[in-house]
Amino acid sequence: MVARAGAGGVLRYELLGPLLVRRAGVARDPGPAMQCAVLAVLLLNANEPVPREQITQAVWGARATANSTGLVATYISRLRRILEPERPPRAAGTVLTSYGAGYRLAVGPGELDLHEFESARQRARVQRAAGEAARAAATLDEALALWRGGGLDGLPGPFAALHRTRLAELRLATLEERFELALLLGRQHEVVAELGLLAAAHPRRERLRGLLMLALYRAGRQSEALAVFAQTRQALIDSQGLEPGKELADLQRRILLGDPGLELERSSPDPGARWRVICRPAQLPSDLADFTGRSAEVRSLARSLGAGAGSRTGAVPVAVVSGPPGVGKTAFAVRVAHRLRDRFPDGQLYAGLHEADGRPGEVGALLGALLTDLGVASEALPAEPERRGALFRSVTAGRRLLLVLDDARDEAQLAALLPGSPSCAVLVTARGRLAGLPGGRAVVLDCLGAGDARRLWRRLAGEPGRAAGEAAVLAACAGLPLALRAAGGRLLARPGRGLGALAARLADEEHRLAELSPGGAGVLRALGSARSRLRRAPDGPAAVAALRLLAPVGPGGFDVPTAAGLLGRSEPRAESLLDLLTEHGLLLAADDGRYGMHPLTALFGRSAPAGRPARR
C-alpha cells in the first residue's frame, strides 16, 4: 500500500475497525476514546476545514459543556505530537493545521483505509460493467480484506454512531456485491455456506436472502431455497406486517417453476457478460451535516413522493426542484432522497445529467449508465437510445426505485429517462421549472431568509467575533448558500486575517465575486456555467446580451414593459428573452408578473462584456 510521507515519517490511518494510527509502519497509540473521536471527525472530513463547534457537537452532542471546546483544543495539541513528533515547538504543522475557528487534517492517497475501500468498490463496478466479473470479484476481495471489525469500533459520540451505522451498511452492501459476482462466475458451491451465515444474521434483508435462494437453487437444493423464502416472509410479516417485495416473490415463483433462466449461461466464456443479476443500487451522495433551513419543504416533498411508494397504478411520481445557481438544489434533493430511502427498498439511483464541461449528457449514454448500474451487462445494451429506453422501463417495472436526476436540461431530456412504473419515483433538479413535464410537482427554492442564512454562516465559520463584520458578510452573500459556504471556506483558510478583512473584501464589488469563488469554483463557476449553457441555447446570445442590460436595475425588479424599454425591443420579444433567462436560473419570476435578479447575478451580469440582443 502506498502512503504519503508526513512530517518525519509515513502516516496511515485505519477506521475500518478500532481506530489505528501507523507511522512508518509502527502502530501509535492515538489516545483516549474522546481524543480518537475527535480524530475520526477530522478523518471523515479529510482535507476540509472543520469548525471547532462542529467537532464539539459531533463528539459530545447534547452533552457538550462550556469545557468541551477547550478539550477539543487539548486533544488537537496531543494529536499533533502523535502525528508530527519531530515538529519543533511552536512551529507550524503540515499535517494537522489550524484554520480560523477550526482545523484541517491533510490526508494523502493511500493514507486512509476507508478511501482505499471506496476506491476499490468503484474500480470493481467499472470492471463489472466492462464484463470483467473475475477481476471485479478479486478487487472486492481486496477491499473487504481492509476491514478488521466494525468501522469506528468503540468510539463515543453521535457522529461516530451515525457513521458506524453507515459503514456497516456499506460493508454489507459490498459483501452482497461480492456474492453476486460469485454467482455470476458459477461459484455457488464455494460461497453458499458463508452466504448462509450472513443471511441468518440479517433475516429481513431481502437482497441478501434472495442471493442465498439463488445459490441454493443452483447448487441443486431447491427445497432449501424455498424454505429461505418462507422464513424471510415470516420474519417480514412478524416485524413489519409486510409481504416480501416483488423481486423476491418473483424469484420464489421462478424457483417453483424450475425456470431455466435461473441457470448460468455456460456458452459464454465470461458468465458475467451474459448472466444478469439485478443490482440494488445505493448511489445517493452523502447528506450535508450542516444543511440549514427548508425543513417544511423537505418534509412536504418527502411526504408527497413517499405517499405513492410501491403503487401499482397511476403515473410515475415526479418532483422538479428548481432555482437559481448556488441556491442548493442538489443538497435539498439529496436530503429529501435520504429521507425516502426506506420507502424505496429496491434501490436509489443518482445521475448527473450534464458533462463536466457543462454540456448536457447524451440520452443514450445516460440510459446505458443507468442500465449497467442496475446490473445489465454492457454487452446486452442495445445501440439505439429508443431501445435502451424501452429496456430501462422493462428493468424498472414493478420495482420500488428512487431516481435522483441532477441538473436536467429540459423536458425532452428528462422524458427519455423516466421509468414507466408508478412503483418508482423521480426527483429532479433543474435551473428552470420544466413546466411542460406532465404531472410533475414543482418546488422552487429561493435564497435563505435572514435567520437561516445567519445559522448556516455560524455553523460554517463559528460564532462571530464582531457582529458588524458578520452582518457585512451576510449582506454580501444575500442568502445564497453557495456564497455563504465559499465565504466560510475563505475565513477558515485565512486564520490570520479574520472576519473584518473578509467583510472588507466582500464590501468591494470589484473583488466580491472572486472572493466568493475560491480556486475558480464557487459563485463564479455556477454563474459562468449558467451563462455558457444559455449562450448555447437557441436565441442564447441575445439573452446573454439582455442579461447585461438588465443587470443594473435595482432590487425592486421590473415588468415586461420596463424590460422592453431597457432592451429597445417589442414587448413580445422582450418577454421571450426574459423567459429564456428565467429558464436558466438567471432571472427570478414572481407571481405578479415582475422579474428580479439576485444581487450576485446582477453583479456578474454587469461585469460581462458589452453586447446587445439581436433585433427580430
| 6-47 tens-digit pLDDT | 443 489 999 999 999 999 889 999 999 999 999 999 999 998
The verdict on residue 614 lying in a domain is no
Under a CB-based contact definition with an 8 Å cutoff, are residues 332 and 445 in contact? yes
Whether residues 95 and 169 share a domain: the answer is no
Whether residues 1 and 147 share a domain: the answer is yes
Whether residues 212 and 244 share a domain: the answer is yes
Q: How confident is the model at residue 270 (pLDDT cuts 50, 70, 90)?
A: very low
pLDDT of 143 > 80? The answer is yes
Q: How far apart are CA 22 and CA 9, in angstroms?
A: 10
User: What was the pLDDT predicted at 259?
Assistant: 84
Q: How far apart are CA 325 and CA 534, in angstroms?
A: 13
User: What was the pLDDT predicted at 611?
Assistant: 46
Whether residues 493 and 532 share a domain: the answer is no
The verdict on residue 288 lying in a domain is no
Under a CB-based contact definition with an 8 Å cutoff, are residues 419 and 302 in contact? no
Domain holding 390, by residue range, is 295-444
The CATH number assigned to the domain holding 586 equals 1.10.10.10
Last residue of a domain, one of 95, 119, 154: 154
User: What was the pLDDT predicted at 204?
Assistant: 93
Per DSSP, the three-state class of 424 is coil
The verdict on residue 287 lying in a domain is no
Q: How confident is the model at residue 4 (pLDDT cuts 50, 70, 90)?
A: very low
Give the residue from 586, 590, 603 showing the smallest Cα distance to 478: 603
User: What was the pLDDT predicted at 409?
Assistant: 84
Cβ contacts of 439 within 8 Å, gap of 6 or more: 315, 316, 318
Last residue of a domain, one of 98, 133, 154: 154
Distances 566 to 454, 545, 546, 580, 612 between C-alpha atoms, Å: 36, 12, 9, 17, 11
Residue indicated by cell numbers 446580451: 545
Q: How far apart are CA 346 and CA 159, in angstroms?
A: 27
Last residue of a domain, one of 273, 306, 323: 273
> pLDDT, tens digit, for every residue of 181-201?
999 888 999 999 999 999 999
The verdict on residue 611 lying in a domain is no
Whether residues 458 and 440 share a domain: the answer is no
Whether residues 40 and 72 share a domain: the answer is yes
User: What was the pLDDT predicted at 56?
Assistant: 94
The verdict on residue 289 lying in a domain is no
The verdict on residue 509 lying in a domain is no
User: What was the pLDDT predicted at 337?
Assistant: 95
Query: How many helices and strands (H and E) does the chain possess?
Result: 25, 14
- Give the distance from CA 38 to its chain's centroid: 24
Give phi and psi for 136, each to the nearest 5. -65, -40
The CATH number assigned to the domain holding 231 equals 1.25.40.10
The verdict on residue 174 lying in a domain is yes
DSSP E strand stretches across 7-136: 9-14, 20-23, 26-28, 50-51, 96-99, 102-105
> pLDDT, tens digit, for every residue of 324-355?
999 999 999 999 999 998 888 888 999 988 87
- What's the rounded mean pLDDT across residues 463-492? 84
User: What was the pLDDT predicted at 466?
Assistant: 58
Least confident of 240-249, 255-264, 482-491, 593-602: 255-264
Whether residues 86 and 106 share a domain: the answer is yes
Whether residues 202 and 106 share a domain: the answer is no
pLDDT of 556 > 90? The answer is no
User: What was the pLDDT predicted at 6?
Assistant: 41
Ramachandran region of residue 146, left (φ > 0), alpha (ψ -120 to 50) or beta? alpha
Under a CB-based contact definition with an 8 Å cutoff, are residues 606 and 509 in contact? no
Whether residues 454 and 471 share a domain: the answer is yes
- Give the distance from CA 231 to its chain's centroid: 35
Q: Provide the Cα torsion 403, 408, 411, 415; round to 10°.
A: -30
Report the residue count for the chain: 616
> Which residues on neighbouring strands pair with residue 27, listed in sequence order?
22
Q: How confident is the model at residue 256 (pLDDT cuts 50, 70, 90)?
A: very high
The verdict on residue 283 lying in a domain is no
**406: enclosing H helix or E strand:** strand 402-408
Whether residues 311 and 357 share a domain: the answer is yes
The CATH number assigned to the domain holding 358 equals 3.40.50.300
Give the total number of structural domains in the chain: 5
User: What was the pLDDT predicted at 357?
Assistant: 60
Whether residues 485 and 495 share a domain: the answer is yes
User: What was the pLDDT predicted at 464?
Assistant: 55
pLDDT of 614 > 80? The answer is no
pLDDT of 100 > 60? The answer is yes
Question: What is the residue-wise DSSP string for 147-189?
Answer: --SSTTBT--SHHHHHHHHHHHHHHHHHHHHHHHHHHHTT-HH
Whether residues 42 and 139 share a domain: the answer is yes
- Give the distance from CA 314 to its chain's centroid: 29
Percentage of the chain beyond pLDDT 70 is 91
pLDDT of 3 > 80? The answer is no
Q: How far apart are CA 33 and CA 135, in angstroms?
A: 39
User: What was the pLDDT predicted at 356?
Assistant: 63
pLDDT of 563 > 50? The answer is yes
